[in-house]
Amino acid sequence: MSESLFVGVDLGGTAIKVGLCNATGDLLRTYEGPTQAVDGADAVLTNIAAYVKELVPPGTPEWDAVEGVGIGIAGFLNIPEGIIDFSPNLPFKNVPVKQIMEEKIGKPVKINNDANVAALGEAWGGAGKNVQHCVCYTLGTGVGGGIILHNRLIEGSTGMAGELGHMSIVADLEAIQCGCGKMGCLETVSSATGIIRMAKDAVARGDRTSLSFVEGELTAKDVFDAAKGGDEVAQRIVSRAAFYLGKSMAAVAVVVNPQRFIIGGGVSKAGDFLFAQIREVFHKLTPDNAQAGVEIVSAELGNNAGVVGAAGLFLRA
Amino acid sequence: MSESLFVGVDLGGTAIKVGLCNATGDLLRTYEGPTQAVDGADAVLTNIAAYVKELVPPGTPEWDAVEGVGIGIAGFLNIPEGIIDFSPNLPFKNVPVKQIMEEKIGKPVKINNDANVAALGEAWGGAGKNVQHCVCYTLGTGVGGGIILHNRLIEGSTGMAGELGHMSIVADLEAIQCGCGKMGCLETVSSATGIIRMAKDAVARGDRTSLSFVEGELTAKDVFDAAKGGDEVAQRIVSRAAFYLGKSMAAVAVVVNPQRFIIGGGVSKAGDFLFAQIREVFHKLTPDNAQAGVEIVSAELGNNAGVVGAAGLFLRA
């Protein structure tokens, strides 16, 4: 058993998922357990170590082949030193996770933020498997992103590379303030939250739309379903979300000129209905040489992108 | 004499400039001669070889220390293979420059496009000397750009990385078609050409401005001078050029998150009058974490950026 193996950890607020990958980004198996965040940081870290050892029992040849454990975390991190400065949904404040976990596991540990890690997972073991330069968008509650150039994750000078949801791109007259404090960020229109907000605004102002008759809380899926069914108000909302996504990709195309855009997250489940509109805008706004051969495709790994990318931190970050 | 040396060539339509750099990007000396483009590709390449040998005489210890010769060229290039596919102002079509020049000079040769090379020069030996991640804008007839991450030039999947002048960014209602065929590119408003166009439009439609009384062809400098002197029409044109530059930098900041933006080219001579406006927009539109510590500074090397960057191709591309 001489092939190198890598463990990835997706540390969430309620569950911890761990996965084992080979050196080419294939996910061999996963294990999952509760985070138990209420018990504090040390309990959470002890759980991670326990789940890793469930995944790969110490003393086995597989254990010996594990070169490192990568952890993806939502929060503000000091990545080089492996410290969680602060996490919005975990009981961590200035915790030297890398150091503690290396002691608990006895393997090298790296940490990185969850959006970067998910992007790296798709690039390394998913929809970007055979391309060197790709850019990932995750369309969920917000819009996350990640940039992979020459097969490596780009972090930038303050770790903000690939924060595509905060590109200020919405036309001035339609721009609203984003949670980050700035005006007109992409995620104010192209996230699930943005789509729902536009739908609620339309209902509230009395636009003639089937969305007025949806029972319970409106979801982004309701908006896509209505749009696919011919509802013009819903179609306008979807085209707006798609327009700004395509426009942001046109900007990204002349900055880093990727070969592939990979779109994941809940909103991407709208599928080709959404993708076709994004592609149309991208093709309209991007210089020919920067769109030649560029593909806009769906993510492939779903919820496993996080563990795969965390495992990939040892080869690709 | 064991320190490595590098030669850079700036191949222009009328003149060829060659320069000698040490391994830390300092320009030791330059030599310049005519291109003689009318005599055809082989004559031009023979001239390059002659000027390089004037700069560093063969047989000297310095010559032995030269590790390679980099050439910056305006045109469509096959960079990995070192071929000029086509150049708008030079008599080259499918010319294997790398191979021919390696035979003529007896040293390894690399080629790259002039905008990338100028950016690399500023990053390596100029205003970016002590930073790892920087983004350069060259504001001249067009708007050129270049991205340097981890001290290396980013080329992208089709060589279009850093083509910042073709970011589609101008608001729809004001967008005009760019020479590249697309609408609303940055260079339609923020290049010297764009500034002059806006000024001519203002004069033609009878706006009340001192620009109507400029004798001879209007220049971008006329517009800046009028704006500095209090002319409101000229001020509006300058703010528009600055607004879209700052907005494009805000976009770049969440894609690659550089530590420094370097602005060069003729238009940048407007100095702090222009820079202050760009910084204001950048600060307004960029998330706090992506603007923390980020500087927007003037290029330092002027016309030498090309030779320095070409020399840098061996260490930084």
B156–A133 CB contact, under 8 Å = yes
Asked whether residue B164 falls in the same domain as residue B261, the answer is: yes
A149–B147 CB contact, under 8 Å = no
Asked whether residue B236 falls in the same domain as residue B151, the answer is: yes
pLDDT at B2: 63
Residue A1 pLDDT > 60, yes or no?
Answer: no
Q: How far is CA A41 from the centre of its chain?
A: 24
- Mean pLDDT calculated for residue range A13-35: 96
Asked whether residue A270 falls in the same domain as residue A141, the answer is: yes
Q: How large is the ipTM?
A: 0.92
Q: How far is CA B293 from the centre of its chain?
A: 24
pLDDT at A2: 63
Residue in A72, A75, A180 with CA at minimum distance from that of residue A116: A72
B161–A256 CB contact, under 8 Å = yes
Extended beta strands in chain B, E state = 5-11, 15-22, 27-34, 66-73, 76-78, 83-86, 93-95, 109-113, 134-139, 143-149, 152-153, 260-264, 295-298
- Give A193's contacts (C-beta < 8 A, 6+ positions apart): A141, A142, A187
B254–A286 CB contact, under 8 Å = no
pLDDT tens digit sequence for B11-50: 998 999 999 999 999 999 999 999 999 999 999 999 999 9
Asked whether residue B202 falls in the same domain as residue B184, the answer is: yes
End-to-end CA distance of chain A: 25
CA dihedral (A212, A218, A221, A224) in degrees, to 10, reads 30
pLDDT tens digit sequence for A193-203: 999 999 999 99
What amino acid is encoded at A268 in this protein? S
Q: DSSP code of A106?
A: S
Q: Which residues of chain A lie closer than 8 angstroms to B257, CB-CB?
A: 154-163
Which helix (H) or strand (E) segment holds residue A224: the answer is helix A220-228
- Give A39's contacts (C-beta < 8 A, 6+ positions apart): none
Q: How far is CA B201 from the centre of its chain?
A: 27
In terms of Cβ atoms closer than 10 Å to its own Cβ (0-12, 13-18, 19+), residue A88 is exposed
Residue in A164, A156, A256 with CA at minimum distance from that of residue B154: A256
Q: DSSP code of A164?
A: G
Instruction: Say which residue the tokens 């700004």 belong to.
Output: A244
Asked whether residue B49 falls in the same domain as residue B198, the answer is: no
pLDDT at A127: 97
Residue in B117, B162, B166 with CA at minimum distance from that of residue B261: B162
Residue in A150, A133, A138 with CA at minimum distance from that of residue A113: A138
Mean pLDDT of chain A: 95
Contact A127, A260 (CB under 8 A): yes
Contact A194, A187 (CB under 8 A): yes
Residue in B190, B274, B282 with CA at minimum distance from that of residue A168: B282
The SS3 of residue A183 is: strand
Nearest by CB to residue A164, choosing from B156, B171, B254, is B254
pLDDT tens digit sequence for A91-107: 999 999 999 999 999 99
pLDDT tens digit sequence for A165-182: 999 999 988 899 998 899
Per-residue pLDDT of chain B in tens (317 residues, 90 and over written 9): 468 999 999 999 899 999 999 999 999 999 999 999 999 999 999 999 999 999 999 999 999 999 999 999 988 888 889 999 988 888 999 999 999 999 999 999 999 988 899 999 999 999 999 999 999 999 999 999 999 999 999 999 988 999 999 999 999 888 999 988 999 999 999 999 999 999 999 999 999 999 999 999 999 999 999 999 999 999 999 999 999 999 999 999 999 999 999 999 999 999 999 999 999 999 999 999 899 999 999 999 999 999 999 999 999 87
Nearest by CB to residue B256, choosing from A156, A289, A294, is A156
Nearest-CA distance from B43 to chain A in Å?
30
- Give B133's contacts (C-beta < 8 A, 6+ positions apart): A156, A157, B148, B149, B150, B256, B257, B258, B259, B260
Q: To probe the interface with B, which of A158, A172, A239 has the most B CB atoms within 10 Å? A: A158
Asked whether residue A65 falls in the same domain as residue A166, the answer is: no
pLDDT at A156: 93
Extended beta strands in B74-141, E state = 76-78, 83-86, 93-95, 109-113, 134-139
Q: Provide the residue range defining the domain that includes B182.
A: 129-299
Share of chain A above pLDDT 70, in %: 99
CA distance A30 to A19: 4
pLDDT at B159: 86
Q: Which residues of chain A lie closer than 8 angstroms to B167, CB-CB?
A: 250-251, 254-255
What backbone phi and psi angles, to 5 degrees, belong to B309? -65, -40
Asked whether residue B292 falls in the same domain as residue B189, the answer is: yes
pLDDT at A173: 85
pLDDT at A88: 80
Nearest by CB to residue B166, choosing from A131, A256, A287, is A287
CA distance A155 to A120: 11
Share of chain A above pLDDT 90, in %: 89
What amino acid is encoded at A52 in this protein? V
Residue A25 CB neighbours (<10 A)? 23
Nearest by CB to residue A160, choosing from B162, B185, B290, is B290
Residue B225 CB neighbours (<10 A)? 17
Q: To probe the interface with A, which of B157, B178, B249, B286 has the most A CB atoms within 10 Å? A: B157
Residue in A63, A40, A53, A58 with CA at minimum distance from that of residue A9: A53
pLDDT tens digit sequence for A129-143: 999 999 999 999 999
Asked whether residue B94 falls in the same domain as residue B144, the answer is: no
| Number of separate domains in chain A | 2
Asked whether residue A134 falls in the same domain as residue A253, the answer is: yes
Q: Which residues of chain B lie closer than 8 angstroms to A256, CB-CB?
A: 147, 154, 156, 161, 255-256
A182–B251 CB contact, under 8 Å = no
Strand order in the sheet with B27-34: B27-34, B15-22, B5-11, B66-73, B109-113
What backbone phi and psi angles, to 5 degrees, belong to A144? -100, 170
CA distance B66 to B107: 8
Residue B314 CB neighbours (<10 A)? 22
Asked whether residue A65 falls in the same domain as residue A116, the answer is: yes
Contact B305, B126 (CB under 8 A): yes
Asked whether residue B140 falls in the same domain as residue B285, the answer is: yes
Q: Which residues of chain A lie closer than 8 angstroms to B259, CB-CB?
A: 157
Q: To probe the interface with B, which of A130, A151, A155, A157 has the most B CB atoms within 10 Å? A: A157
CA distance B259 to B234: 31
B285–A247 CB contact, under 8 Å = no
Asked whether residue A61 falls in the same domain as residue A89, the answer is: yes
Residue A45 pLDDT > 90, yes or no?
Answer: yes
Q: Which residues of chain B lie closer than 8 angstroms to A290, CB-CB?
A: 156, 158, 160, 163, 166
pLDDT tens digit sequence for B94-147: 999 999 999 999 999 999 988 899 999 999 999 999 999 999 999 999 999 999
- CATH number of the domain encompassing residue A283: 3.30.420.40
What amino acid is encoded at B122 in this protein? E
Nearest by CB to residue A289, choosing from B160, B167, B251, is B160
CA distance B178 to B194: 10
Instruction: Say which residue the tokens 């439609």 belong to.
Output: B205
Instruction: Say which residue the tokens 């790994």 belong to.
Output: A301
